[in-house]
Structure 1
Amino acid sequence: MNESRIKFRHLQAFIEVARHRSVVKAAGFLNVSQPAVTKTIRELEDVLGVALVERDGRGIRITRYGEVFLKHAGSAIAALRQGLDSVSHERIGEAPLLRIGALPTVSSHIMPRAMDLFLREKTWSRIKIVTGENAVLLEQLRFGELDLVVGRLAGADRMAGFVFEHLYSEQVVFAARAGHPLLASDRSPFAELAEYTILMPTTSSIIRPFVDRFLIANGISGLPNQIETVSDAFGRAFVLSSDAVWIISAGVVARDIDDGRLCILPIDTNETRGPVGLTMRTDAVPSVAMSLLMQTIREAAASRALI
């Protein structure tokens, strides 16, 4: 194998095909033609001497060799991006950009306090905070688009190439507006839950499997009136203006609970607890500014009273 034949475009094309599980979508993202992406993947496979992708019905799937190579390709792209950013910032005299991914619960419950503490350190670093689903944030971390993710611990199959530091554990709650009929009912909330609109985490969210297992364990195999959302802004506004019930991580609604605007239904959800913490690439070496930011996140997490 002649490694010198592998170019940046090969890695970039393969990563986008793997990320989108589609040559067409990868081509659109890269702003090139579909045949060009297909040709680039074939060139990479010729160099490696193995198939990286194969047809799977109308789509494609990554082969075992492809999954192995993807981990290293992601690290290579991430390292290159970090190097380019470092040189660029050094040349123009700017502090490096710190790119943080955070779950909605972390963004609303932890990051404001962490940022207040960090800004007092006067590192003059530029900071970018991205909020989204855990799976999306981890993909961005893998490919060097983020430097740190603050969120739930993902499954073992998604943690290859990452290191996780536990901060705290958090559970899912059933939240409703103050004065909701279920709060005054003598029956179990599960007996009447199907009568109300339920805001559910999306199927790709990190907490959805916890929620599904919990509902099934309590005799609920399906809820007829569901809205799937990861938007805390929509969820909060909709629940406050209706009789909907919001199944959500406790941290997202902690302030609303404290203010008395929302209440937690009397449902024991301890079994939905899961670890929340810091996730980084195993090959990442935190800068001084990043180390300070991580420390302020630890302090903010430790100081918050979580449900």
Structure 2
Amino acid sequence: MLDSRVKFRHLQTFVEVARQKSVQKAADLLHVSQPAVTKTIRELEEALGVAVLERDGRGIRITRYGEVFLRHAGAALSALRQGLDSVSQERFGEAPPIRIGALPTVSTHIMPRAMELFLKEDTWSRIKVVTGENAVLLEQLRVGDLDLVVGRLAAADKMSGFSFEYLYSEQVVFVVRSGHPLLEAGRSLFSDLGRYTVLMPTRASIIRPFVESFLIANGVANLLSQIETVSDSFGRAFVRSSDAIWIISAGVVASDIDDGLLKALPIDTSETKGPVGLTMRTDAIPSLPLSILTQTIRQAAEEISKRL
């Protein structure tokens, strides 16, 4: 349990003494007296209930307890400084842009509402939203070109070095234009799929394995006429002007279905459901604006998941 007597000055003083291996040098750098440093260390030790420093001849050394506490104290000071810097940068417009990678389903379904909420916070931050295949976005996240990826949970072997926060679950749907022949009652949907062009997620897409397994389980071994795409604008335009069938995440076409522009075929695709959430590097410390944006993404996801 955190002792409320441990203050910032205790951490700062202890870290500086440990770094300098000298109370006097630490006092000089902190611009305080040597007795003041000694008193602060004693207060810290009293709050912790253990000694963190001990005499070693004419000098001092860190105890085993002190070594353990030093790692956490240093990390706490670093995080606090980064927080202060990020606030200062935001005030003076010097902060780098927040770089978000979003799968097509999120770009269409979640991010517009999240951005609406974020802009109300008046952080004046610059935002960069990019979309693409999951593998590409995760690689950009890994090398530091992105700060956050919002989308489906990747396979376990792709998540090394990343953390995932669950937001909601989403499934794949089969959509067609209004008036499509397959919407007529009594038709055998799976046996008729091969008669039409099918828009499929690309092989690098995170939902592709779910789609392939689902089709095979329902007796569809191959589709002679198919187009692979992750472009929601192309898919939307092509399906509305043809008899093509679009296999896509529900979030991408939710508004189109609500508006009556597209129709979902009556196929139970619940087994294609998968988790959607936030993926970040485990070693990343989010800036203040990114933390705020993350909160608005959570809120937007909560609002929208209630309608799914």
Distance 1:306 1:209, change over 3 A: farther
Equivalent residue, structure 2, for 1:133: 133
| Distance in 2 between residues matched to 1:255 and 1:210, nearest whole Å | 23
Equivalent residue, structure 2, for 1:199: 199
Q: How does 1:1-307 map to 2 (within 5 A)?
A: 93-304=93-304, 305-307=306-308
Which moved further from structure 2: 135-144 or 95-104?
Answer: 95-104
Specify the code of the residue in structure 1 equivalent to 2:227: I
Is contact 1:104–1:232 with CA below 8 Å preserved after alignment?
A: yes
Is contact 2:101–2:137 with CA below 8 Å preserved after alignment?
A: yes
Specify the code of the residue in structure 1 equivalent to 2:281: R
Question: RMSD of the alignment, in Å?
Answer: 1.9
Is contact 1:175–1:263 with CA below 8 Å preserved after alignment?
A: yes
How far residue 235 of structure 1 moved from its aligned partner, in angstroms, is 0.2
Q: Which runs of 5+ in 2 are unaligned?
A: 1-81
| Distance in 2 between residues matched to 1:182 and 1:103, nearest whole Å | 29
Is contact 1:154–1:206 with CA below 8 Å preserved after alignment?
A: yes
Secondary structure at 2:99 match in 1:
strand
Specify the code of the residue in structure 2 equivalent to 1:202: T
| Distance in 2 between residues matched to 1:159 and 1:94, nearest whole Å | 32
| Distance in 2 between residues matched to 1:191 and 1:267, nearest whole Å | 13
| Distance in 1 between residues matched to 2:307 and 2:192, nearest whole Å | 28
- Structure possessing the higher radius of gyration over alpha carbons: 2
| Distance in 2 between residues matched to 1:156 and 1:232, nearest whole Å | 27
Structure 1's consecutive aligned runs of 4 or more residues displaced over 4 angstroms after TM superposition are none
| Distance in 1 between residues matched to 2:300 and 2:135, nearest whole Å | 24
Specify the code of the residue in structure 1 equivalent to 2:211: V
Count of residues paired in the alignment: 222
Specify the code of the residue in structure 1 equivalent to 2:258: D
| Distance in 2 between residues matched to 1:137 and 1:306, nearest whole Å | 27
Q: Which runs of 5+ in 1 are unaligned?
A: 1-81
Is contact 1:95–1:124 with CA below 8 Å preserved after alignment?
A: no
Is contact 1:214–1:272 with CA below 8 Å preserved after alignment?
A: yes
| Distance in 2 between residues matched to 1:128 and 1:231, nearest whole Å | 19
| Distance in 2 between residues matched to 1:300 and 1:137, nearest whole Å | 21
Is contact 2:176–2:262 with CA below 8 Å preserved after alignment?
A: yes
How far residue 102 of structure 1 moved from its aligned partner, in angstroms, is 0.1
Distance 1:102 1:306, change over 3 A: farther
| Distance in 1 between residues matched to 2:103 and 2:206, nearest whole Å | 10
Specify the code of the residue in structure 2 equivalent to 1:271: E
Is contact 2:197–2:243 with CA below 8 Å preserved after alignment?
A: yes
How far residue 93 of structure 1 moved from its aligned partner, in angstroms, is 4.6
Residue identity (%) = 73
Q: Normalized against structure 2, the TM-score is what? A: 0.70
How far residue 188 of structure 1 moved from its aligned partner, in angstroms, is 2.2
Specify the code of the residue in structure 2 equivalent to 1:289: P
Is contact 2:103–2:131 with CA below 8 Å preserved after alignment?
A: yes
How far residue 110 of structure 1 moved from its aligned partner, in angstroms, is 0.4
| Distance in 2 between residues matched to 1:104 and 1:286, nearest whole Å | 24
Equivalent residue, structure 2, for 1:77: none
| Distance in 1 between residues matched to 2:188 and 2:112, nearest whole Å | 37
Is contact 2:191–2:220 with CA below 8 Å preserved after alignment?
A: no
| Distance in 2 between residues matched to 1:142 and 1:169, nearest whole Å | 24
